[in-house]
Amino acid sequence: MPPSRPPLHASPLAQVRDLPADMAAFLTHLRVERRLAERTLSMYHDALVRLMRAAAELSLDLRQVQPSHVRRWAARLNSQGLSARSIAIHLAAWRGLYRYLGRAGLVGLNPVEGIRPPKAGRPLPKALSVEQAVALAEHQAGAPAADEPLELRDRAIVELLYGCGLRISELLGLDVRPGGATAGWVDVAEAEAQVFGKGQRRRSLPVGPVAVHALKAWLAVRATLAKPEEGALFVSTRGTRLTDGQLRRRLAQRALDAGLGVHVQPHMLRHSYASHLLQSSGDLRAVQELLGHAQVTTTQAYTRLDFQHLARVYDAAHPRARKG
Sketch out the chain's domains with CATH numbers: 8-103 (1.10.150), 130-265 (1.10.443.10)
Of 53, 72, 76, 198, which one is the catalytic site residue?
Answer: 198
Of 69, 95, 267, 309, which one is the catalytic site residue?
Answer: 267
Contact 142, 247 (CB under 8 A): no
198 is catalytic: yes
Rounded-to-integer distance, Cα 74 and Cα 82, Å: 10
285 is catalytic: no
What's the 3-state SS for the chain? CCCCCCCHHHCHHHHHHCCCHHHHHHHHHHHHHCCCCHHHHHHHHHHHHHHHHHHHHCCCCHHHCCHHHHHHHHHHHHHCCCCHHHHHHHHHHHHHHHHHHHHCCCCCCCCCCCCCCCCCCCCCCCCCCHHHHHHHHHCCCCCCHHHHHHHHHHHHHHHHHHHHCCCHHHHHCEECCCCCCCCEEEECCCCEEEEECHHHCEEEEECCHHHHHHHHHHHHHHHHCCCCCCCECCECCCCCECCHHHHHHHHHHHHHHCCCCCCCCHHHHHHHHHHHHHHHHCCHHHHHHHHCCCCHHHHCHHHHHHHHHHHHHHHHHCHHHCCC
216 is catalytic: no
Rounded-to-integer distance, Cα 213 and Cα 61, Å: 74
Of 241, 270, 271, 276, which one is the catalytic site residue?
Answer: 270
Of 63, 99, 126, 167, which one is the catalytic site residue?
Answer: 167
pLDDT of residue 7: 37
Of 250, 252, 222, the C-alpha closest to 235 is: 222
126 is catalytic: no
In 207-246, which positions are buried (b, 16+ CB within 10 angstroms) versus exposed (e)?
beeebbebbebbbeebeebbeeebbbbbbbeeeebbeeeb
167 is catalytic: yes
Looking at this protein, which amino acid is placed at residue 96? G
pTM over 0.95: no
270 is catalytic: yes
Please report, in tens digits, the pLDDT of each residue of the chain (324 residues total). 444 443 333 333 434 356 788 898 999 899 888 888 888 888 999 999 999 999 999 999 888 999 999 998 988 888 788 888 899 999 999 999 999 999 989 988 999 998 888 776 666 567 888 889 889 988 876 655 556 899 999 999 999 999 888 889 899 999 998 876 667 899 999 999 888 877 677 888 889 899 999 999 999 999 999 999 999 999 999 999 999 999 999 999 999 999 998 899 998 898 888 888 777 776 777 777 777 776 666 666 666 555 455 455 445 554 544 444
Cβ contacts of 324 within 8 Å, gap of 6 or more: none
